[in-house]
């Protein structure tokens, strides 16, 4: 069985993330969306909230029964090895993403040469989309329903209503 890990902070998960996850499901027998704590990014949502949103949002994907959502700590390559995953999926939106992702892939290869990186591009209409931009639009009261699943839109409204 070919298993892939799709790691990230997913703060919050966007339609672009889900597009990449759906593409990965067409290529692999099983995909794990692996959510990292990412405390250095000062996440808006707790790890538990991000796992819950990603779990709910991913149910709409075709073949979602082959997709799991989990959190992890530590090195992603160690997590991938523990899950017996052969591949790490990374999304590339634009050329600007490539340099960082390329460096990360080479470092991960040095740490564990048994785990390959595969880069997937989302649909063209998601290439501008990022969690950071979605959070800013929401914080300023703008509409985000075109960018995130309904459960995420609702969670963003709740966060900003109580802030």
126 close to 16: Cβ distance less than 8 angstroms: yes
16 close to 122: Cβ distance less than 8 angstroms: yes
* Class of 3-162 in CATH: alpha beta
Q: Which of 9, 17, 23, 90 is catalytic?
A: 17
How many angstroms from the chain centroid is the CA of residue 19? 10
Active-site residue flag, 93: yes
Q: Which of 9, 23, 50, 131 is catalytic?
A: 131
pLDDT score recorded for residue 99? 84
66 close to 29: Cβ distance less than 8 angstroms: yes
Active-site residue flag, 131: yes
CA distance 66 to 44: 28
Element (H, E) at 112: none
Active-site residue flag, 160: no
Active-site residue flag, 159: no
Q: Which of 3, 66, 93, 160 is catalytic?
A: 93
pLDDT in tens, the chain (163 residues): 899 999 999 999 999 999 999 999 999 999 999 999 976 778 999 999 999 999 999 999 999 999 999 999 999 999 999 999 999 999 988 777 788 888 989 999 999 999 999 999 999 999 889 999 999 999 999 999 999 999 999 999 999 877 6
- Token pair of 5 as six digits: 């890990």
């Amino acid at each position: 069985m070919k298993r892939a890990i799709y790691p990230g902070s997913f703060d919050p998960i966007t339609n672009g993330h889900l597009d990449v996850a759906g593409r990965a499901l067409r290529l692999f027998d099983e995909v794990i969306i692996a959510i990292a704590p990412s405390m250095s990014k000062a996440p808006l949502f707790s790890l538990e909230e991000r796992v819950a949103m990603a779990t709910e949002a991913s149910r709409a994907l075709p073949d979602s029964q082959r997709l799991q959502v989990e959190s992890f700590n530590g090195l992603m390559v160690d997590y991938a090895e523990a899950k017996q995953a052969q591949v790490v999926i990374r999304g590339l939106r634009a050329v600007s993403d490539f340099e960082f992702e390329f460096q990360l892939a080479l470092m991960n290869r040095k740490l564990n040469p048994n785990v390959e990186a595969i880069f997937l591009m989302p649909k063209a209409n998601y290439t501008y989309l990022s969690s950071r931009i979605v959070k800013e639009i929401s914080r300023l009261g703008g509409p985000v329903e075109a960018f995130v699943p309904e459960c995420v839109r609702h969670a963003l409204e709740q966060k900003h209503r109580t802030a």
